[in-house]
C-alpha cells in the first residue's frame, strides 16, 4: 500500500519553475514562486502569476492565512504580480496586522513600485533589503540579502539561517558574479535560477553552463534549477542537470509542485494531474 505523503518539518515547495516572459505568458511552467516552512516560519518567495491559486490548489494543503513572510527578490512581473493578494491573505483580508514583507527598494517605492500603499499599511512591517544586512524574521529565522545584477532593477538573492538548522539559499535572476560562491558557501541547499542552456553574455541571467562553473567553487549537498525559459524546458532540463552534477552536489531540474526537504535534502516529485476534458453542455 502506497504511503500517504506529508510535508517534512522544514521544506520548500515550488509554486512554479518557469521564468522569463515567454514561459510566463504561455504558462509553459507555473510561475508562482516558492512556498517554504523553516524553523516554524511559513513564507512565500517571489509570488508571480498564479501564486495564490497554486497555494490554494496544493496537496497536501497549504494555508495562505498562515504566511508570516513574503520576500520579493525583484519587481519584474514574473516574480511580483501576486504580492498584493498574498499579503491580503497573510493579513486575513486586512483585519489582522501581521507578517513581514521583505522587498527591494524600487519594488516598494519609486516610479514603478509593485507593492500597493494600502496593502503595505496592513502588514506588520515592510523591510527594504540591503546587501549583507541580515534581517530578523519571525520564529528566530534570519535572512541575508545578496546583491545581484539584473537588467537595471534592484535585485537580491537570499540566504536563510536559524540556529540548529541547515542554512539554505536562493540565487535569483542575475548575471554570473564572482562573489556568489563565497556568499553561498555555507548553504547545504541552493535553489538557482537558470534560464538558458548555454551562456548568454549580453543577458543578466545565469545559464546551465554558468551554474556548472559555480558548482565547481561552491558545494551544497543539493542544488535545484528553476526559473527555466521556454528554450531550456523544451531541451529537457533534467539532462542538462545531470551534466553539471559533481561529486559533492546533486543537481536536480525542478518541476512544478516539487518539494525539497531542507533538513535531509531529499526531493519529492508530485504525481501528474490528468488534464481536464473540455466538454461543454448547453444549460
Q: Which domains, and CATH codes, for the chain?
A: 11-266 (3.60.15.10)
C-alpha cell at 193: 535560477
Residue 66 gets which letter from DSSP?
G
Instruction: Name the E strands within the chain.
Output: 11-16, 31-38, 41-45, 69-71, 100-103, 125-128, 135-136, 142-147, 156-161, 168-171, 189-193, 222-226, 250-253, 259-261, 267-268
pLDDT tens per residue across span 102-124: 999 999 998 999 999 999 999 99
| Interatomic CA distance for residues 120 and 242, integer angstroms | 43
Residue 227 gets which letter from DSSP?
S
Confidence of residue 275 (pLDDT cuts 50, 70, 90): low
Using an 8 Å Cβ cutoff, are 263 and 165 in contact? yes
pLDDT tens per residue across span 224-257: 999 999 989 999 999 999 999 999 999 999 999 9
- Would you say residue 2 has pLDDT above 70? no
Mean pLDDT, rounded, of the chain: 95
Is 263 buried (19+), middle (13-18) or exposed (0-12) by CB count in 10 A?
middle
Amino acid at each position: 500500500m502506497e504511503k500517504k505523503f506529508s510535508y517534512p518539518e522544514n521544506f520548500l515547495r515550488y509554486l512554479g519553475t518557469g521564468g522569463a516572459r515567454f514561459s510566463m505568458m504561455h504558462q509553459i511552467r507555473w510561475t508562482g514562486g516558492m512556498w517554504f516552512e523553516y524553523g516554524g516560519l511559513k513564507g512565500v518567495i517571489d509570488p508571480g502569476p498564479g501564486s495564490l491559486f497554486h497555494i490554494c490548489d496544493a496537496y497536501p494543503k497549504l494555508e495562505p492565512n498562515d504566511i508570516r513572510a513574503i520576500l520579493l527578490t525583484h519587481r519584474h512581473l514574473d516574480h511580483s504580480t501576486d504580492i498584493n493578494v498574498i499579503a491580503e491573505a497573510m493579513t486575513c483580508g486586512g483585519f489582522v496586522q501581521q507578517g513581514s514583507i521583505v522587498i527591494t527598494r524600487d519594488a516598494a517605492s519609486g516610479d514603478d513600485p509593485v507593492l500597493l500603499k494600502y496593502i503595505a499599511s496592513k502588514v506588520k512591517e515592510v523591510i527594504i533589503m540591503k546587501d549583507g544586512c541580515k534581517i530578523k524574521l519571525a520564529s528566530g529565522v534570519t535572512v541575508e540579502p545578496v546583491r545581484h545584477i539584473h537588467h537595471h532593477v534592484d535585485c537580491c538573492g537570499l540566504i536563510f539561517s536559524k540556529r540548529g538548522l541547515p542554512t539554505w539559499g536562493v540565487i535569483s535572476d542575475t548575471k554570473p558574479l564572482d562573489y556568489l560562491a563565497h556568499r553561498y558557501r555555507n548553504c547545504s541547499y541552493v535553489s538557482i535560477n537558470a534560464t538558458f542552456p548555454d551562456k548568454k553574455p549580453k543577458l543578466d541571467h545565469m545559464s546551465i553552463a554558468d551554474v556548472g562553473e559555480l558548482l565547481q567553487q561552491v558545494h551544497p549537498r543539493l542544488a535545484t534549477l528553476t526559473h527555466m525559459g521556454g528554450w531550456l524546458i523544451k531541451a529537457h532540463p533534467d539532462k542538462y542537470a545531470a551534466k553539471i552534477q559533481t561529486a559533492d552536489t546533486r543537481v536536480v531540474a525542478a518541476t512544478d509542485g516539487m518539494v525539497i526537504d531542507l533538513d535531509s535534502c531529499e526531493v519529492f516529485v508530485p504525481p501528474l494531474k490528468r488534464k481536464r476534458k473540455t466538454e461543454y453542455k448547453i444549460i
